[in-house]
Structure 1
């Protein structure tokens, strides 16, 4: 069997939250990501599905949430994505620490991993998140959204995910099959449970890294945990090839499922982490103009016929908007630059 085309990296990460308004306020206003899609969980249409990303919803930038209010608090442990890390420009961590102080965000001291400076913090549901300071190239594919955070400090898509695994070796073999290459192993600062971290790199620029860390820590899915991580398989053909390669390893991928903005295949890797393969097309702007992303509740396919019923069952929310004074100041800066 021919090797599949390597994945360019992470497509999106989906997590479990509690209160939807608190989730929106934090990820849009505090962290400065754009709400590029306001929809529903297609498997549980009584629940929102929020998509936060860069200004254009570029693959490799979207953090998505199911706000299941009735769920209990989760516990990060073995068989889970234990950390989600985002890229920020070099020199911006002072800005982020000051912002976290202003907004009351729970954060830890900076640590160093593989020569990069990392700022760990938690969202309001306790989800472990990190900012990693990196040099952003001029031709970087991400498009920062600047409604709340200046461009020079804005989040620029994913850096990595960390997998906590009872036995990393089978999963490491899977990552190699998916086209990631091992690029280093080290005992890094700030790791829990404190064993050696192994890093794998994908072929793309955004969402490039997957770290594996051995642990037997007990886990429980709930608020503040990752539901699944999706990897890019840009075309249907590439996805089919990757599905065949995954299946040849004894795993059980689903058939392709239409998720409206991408087409997906799901499977659990050897330790139970839910992986997804996601296509590039149609994209988040396939059903809304780029300027209006996230402005309305989008109901895919057959759900549109049930709009009145679905909307009645969803809690009311308010999308954070920048203060008019801040918006005017931004307009003045843009005008001066012109």
Structure 2
């Protein structure tokens, strides 16, 4: 049976300052701002999307920056580290770049036969760069970081759990992931064809404290599916397995359902279409504040209340 889930679609996190968030992910990591919009449930807060040059699923990291939000705490029941893929030969480049921008890092470490660096963004969100030769996705030559060194997209997400059995059952049964490796209390699962961007690491960490959500915390993890029809099929499988996914919600650039996995982490299934070019030309992604049509009558008020950000 072919998997209906392709891998990671996006990761959404919380931040405390919009400009500092842009400075880190665009200015230091070299991601592209692919969409500047608002939190549909709180229109006085940005929703910022970063990714590759064209906003491909599997590259998209998004943030809700709430001004002055208190920092969260990593721990049980949370996606603690979001890992990006970089070319093997770029590891020393990134060590030098992080040093240049005064970003403390640790490593290189080794996990599943690949080297990686570990650090945090300005709010304490856990970030990793995994050096791999297994990622054929192109880099973006953005004028700051040469394409041969650039981030390719996601590699892995790490889910910290006190117990793992029920999360494993969810991933392997209705979500059709396959266990591909195990090392030092880490279970690695892959979706679809596998490879960077399709890995989920379930970390058995019974001694950790419970996570607290705040700035630097991941809000939810979204998985990718190809069509509205495949999303509905996944939803039925989740219902049959005893989960309570939401109805389908229109997120303008994809359609979504949400549900909690047994450890408490919020999961989403997001469709690949319609994509980020639905309301902006590919060469203009992220340059204008985009609002869903139901907020357009309030544009002047919304723009006046949002802080100015420079890309």
Same fold by TM-score, threshold 0.5 exceeded? yes
CA distance in 2: counterparts of 1:180 and 1:303, whole angstroms: 38
Q: Is the 8 A contact 1:5 1:242 kept in 2?
A: no
Greater CA deviation, 144-153 or 219-228?
144-153
CA distance in 2: counterparts of 1:248 and 1:165, whole angstroms: 24
CA distance in 2: counterparts of 1:5 and 1:103, whole angstroms: 41
Map 1:1-338 → 2, pairs under 5 A: 5-136=3-134, 140-142=136-138, 144-177=140-173, 178-187=175-184, 196-204=185-193, 205-216=195-206, 217-319=209-311
CA distance in 2: counterparts of 1:210 and 1:88, whole angstroms: 17
Report the CA distance between 1:146 and its aligned residue: 2.4
CA RMSD of superposed structures (Å): 1.3
Report the CA distance between 1:20 and its aligned residue: 0.6
SS of the residue 1:254 aligns to: coil
C-alpha deviations, 1:217-260, integer Å up to 9, x for none?
22100011101010001101110111111122211100000000
CA distance in 1: counterparts of 2:276 and 2:69, whole angstroms: 28
Report the CA distance between 1:179 and its aligned residue: 1.6
**Which structure 1 residue ranges, 5 or more long, are not aligned?**
188-195, 320-338
Report the CA distance between 1:203 and its aligned residue: 1.4
CA distance in 1: counterparts of 2:171 and 2:143, whole angstroms: 36
Q: Is the 8 A contact 2:139 2:150 kept in 1?
A: no
CA distance in 1: counterparts of 2:138 and 2:235, whole angstroms: 27
Report the CA distance between 1:141 and its aligned residue: 4.4
CA distance in 1: counterparts of 2:48 and 2:189, whole angstroms: 28
CA distance in 1: counterparts of 2:138 and 2:221, whole angstroms: 19
Which protein has the larger Cα radius of gyration, Structure 1 or Structure 2? 1
CA distance in 2: counterparts of 1:245 and 1:33, whole angstroms: 35
CA distance in 1: counterparts of 2:233 and 2:92, whole angstroms: 44
Report the CA distance between 1:209 and its aligned residue: 0.4
**Which structure 2 residue ranges, 5 or more long, are not aligned?**
none
CA distance in 1: counterparts of 2:205 and 2:69, whole angstroms: 25
CA distance in 2: counterparts of 1:115 and 1:37, whole angstroms: 35
CA distance in 2: counterparts of 1:88 and 1:109, whole angstroms: 15
Runs of 4+ aligned residues of structure 1 deviating over 6 Å after TM superposition are none
SS of the residue 1:92 aligns to: helix
C-alpha deviations, 1:71-130, integer Å up to 9, x for none?
211001111101100000011110000000100112112110010101111111111100
Q: Is the 8 A contact 1:32 1:148 kept in 2?
A: yes
Aligned residues: 307
Higher strand share: 2
SS of the residue 1:110 aligns to: strand
CA distance in 2: counterparts of 1:160 and 1:246, whole angstroms: 23
Q: Is the 8 A contact 2:85 2:154 kept in 1?
A: yes
Q: TM-score, normalised by structure 1?
A: 0.88
SS of the residue 1:158 aligns to: strand
SS of the residue 1:66 aligns to: strand
